[in-house]
Every structure is written in C-alpha cells, then in structure tokens.
Amino acid sequence: MDLLAASIAIRWDDAGWLWLLDQRLLPGEERGLRIETAPAAADAIRDLVVRGAPAIGITAAYGVVLSALRHADAADPTAAVAADIATLRAARPTAVNLGWALDRMAATIEAAGGPDPETLLALAREIHLDDIAANHRMGELGAAEIEAGSAVLTHCNTGSLATGGYGTALGVIRSAHGGGRLTHVYAGETRPWLQGARLTAWELQQDGIPVDLVIEGAVASLFRSGRARWLVAGSDRIAANGDVANKIGTYSAALHARSHGGKVMIVAPFSTVDLAMPDGSGIPIEQRAADEVLGLGGRRVAAAGAGAWNPVFDITPAELVDVIVTERGVARPPFRESLAAQA
C-alpha cells in the first residue's frame, strides 16, 4: 500500500504541486486545494486549511520543495528559498514541528550547497512517512495504557487530518478500539473552530467508532459521572519538564479529569518535544482574531460592542499529566528525566 497516496489530508503531486484537503469545509464538503508556492503553503497553514502540529510540519517541508522548484532559475536560489522558509516559519508560532521540519530542510540545503528539488522532495517524503510510522507506534503504546472497558474524552482533532496519517491521540483511540479496550469516545466540540464536532466526529464515524460530542462546559460533569476514565489529547509543543501546549481547553479538561480520579495521556511524536524549552512559561501562545469567537459560521452571534480574548492554545502543567506517549516510548513523571532519556 502506498501510504503517502493514502494520506487523506496532504498529498504531493509529481507534477510539482501540493494537494491539501481544505479542513475548513468539513464535514459538509470535501474539497482539495492546489498549492503551488511556498507562500501559498504558509497561507494554508495560517488560515487553518491544514492544522495539527505534525501536518503543519509536513506541509512546511513540502512548501520548501515548492520554493526550490519555483526558484530554480533565480539569480540566487538559496537566498530566495531562505526567504520562503522564513515566511513558512512565521505562519504559526506555537507548533514546534513547524520549525523542526524547516530546520531539517534548511540543513539539507546547506549540506547540498543549494536547494536541490529532488533531494528536498526525498526528505519531505521521509518526514511524511516517518510521521505515519510514528503514529502507528504511538497508537500501540498508548492503547496498552488504557484499561479494557474504558471510555475516553479527546479534545480537538489529532487524527489523519492533523498528521501524516492515522493520528496521535486519535491513533491511540483507533488502536484501543481495534483491540477491544474502548467502549465509547467523547469528543469536545472545540470552540471556536469546532474541530472536535466537525473533524474528530467525522473521522471516528468513518471508522465506525461510537462518538458523542460534549460541550467544554460539560467536561467536569462527564468525569464526575464516571463516564470517562481518560483524557487522551495531542500536543503542539511539550517542554522539557513535561508542560504541554495544546488546543485551548485541554488545561481545563485535564483539571476536571484529575479532580475526579481520571487520568491524562498526551500523545505526540518526539519532534513535538522541545528539550530546549525548560517549561511551559516560555511557549508562545498564538492569539487569533476576536471575530472567531464573536461569530459562528460567518454570522455574528455576540452582542454588538462585545470584544473577545481568543488564545488558541493553553498550557497543561506537567503535574496534571500521567503519561506522555511518543514513538520512542511511554514517558512518566518526572518528565524532565524520562523525556530526556528518549532523546
């Protein structure tokens, strides 16, 4: 099976362009966008056509390939591609996978003495395939932590749409369900973009995995009722001490889970671990437009004159996390030591 061709969110066309599934339109419409330049790839990342830290990194890698192709005849191809890499790097500040992928592409350009498109394409494909393999490994490791007969809550979307394929937290859920361990999945709606309602529920339905949506305000009651035993979430950056940056609402969900005897599992490729970041206080938190909160579906719902505070991510402190699952193993507290041991 050609794993890259089977990727539902990101596909490279050998004619020299990138295909991205426009996730803003799901589940009502499945439409792809043809991306032909690095700035267009950066726009797609910034505008949430593609989202999820691993998928952002993969898209950026292919964006560098596009840049090398478009600037092959430039007076200074290296400088032109470097400018495009800077544009891609600035697209979204929180996801460490973005910088990780771009650093690998830039190092390859330096080693080759210039931006060779074939060499860069081979690396982008390697990054893509490695992510798919890592997802399956994390699925196996994380599923083994979940007790048979459990139901779990997940937050945002961490499946095939957010990765190279299969998923991080959703990969664990897929593996746990396939192994007969899961009875049910609860998905937070994930305001204001409704990734849980639009994307996670759509993916789980495709796989025949039962899912109920819950509003974020119901999460405390969900765990108090005993309906869910685990919060299983992804991450956009994990600090050296185990503090976790993820979609806004993860912190409160972790508080509710731990307050009521539940557990918290974070699932992410090791490329998401930033050992140079001592703790979560230094992780940049992206702020987006107030209109995303003040309206819904393109229609304003808030009272005229109201403003909005719209952070996209929050930091879940390491003391609320039970396990961090990467493709390299299952890290447990103290995370500074266990994560460093995976490096």
What is the rounded distance in angstroms from the CA atom of residue 334 to the CA atom of residue 265?
A: 14
What is the rounded distance in angstroms from the CA atom of residue 136 to the CA atom of residue 270?
A: 14
pTM (2 d.p.): 0.91
Per-residue pLDDT of the chain (343 residues; tens, 9 = 90+): 566 766 789 999 999 999 999 999 999 999 999 999 999 999 999 999 999 989 999 999 999 999 999 999 999 999 999 999 999 999 998 878 999 999 999 999 999 999 999 999 999 999 999 999 999 999 999 999 999 999 999 999 999 999 998 999 999 999 999 999 999 999 999 999 999 999 999 999 999 999 999 999 999 999 999 999 999 999 999 999 999 999 999 999 999 999 999 999 999 999 999 999 999 999 999 999 999 999 987 899 999 999 999 999 999 999 999 999 999 999 999 999 999 999 9
Asked about 236 being catalytic, the answer comes back as yes
DSSP 8-state symbol, 327: T
User: Which amino acid type is present at position 315?
Assistant: I
Which pLDDT score is estimated for 5?
64
Helix (H) or strand (E) holding 212: strand 211-214
What is the rounded distance in angstroms from the CA atom of residue 199 to the CA atom of residue 205?
A: 10
Q: Is 214:191 a contact under the CB 8 Å cutoff?
A: no
Looking at 131, 236, 243, 322, which residue is catalytic?
236
What is the rounded distance in angstroms from the CA atom of residue 168 to the CA atom of residue 187?
A: 15
Cα 334 → chain centroid? 24
Cα 40 → chain centroid? 20
First to last CA, the chain: 31
Instruction: Say what angle helices 53-70 and 38-46 make with each other, to 10 degrees.
Output: 160
For residue 93, CA distances in Å to 17, 106, 207, 265 come to 25, 18, 32, 24
Which pLDDT score is estimated for 3?
65
User: Which amino acid type is present at position 300?
Assistant: R
Which pLDDT score is estimated for 14?
93
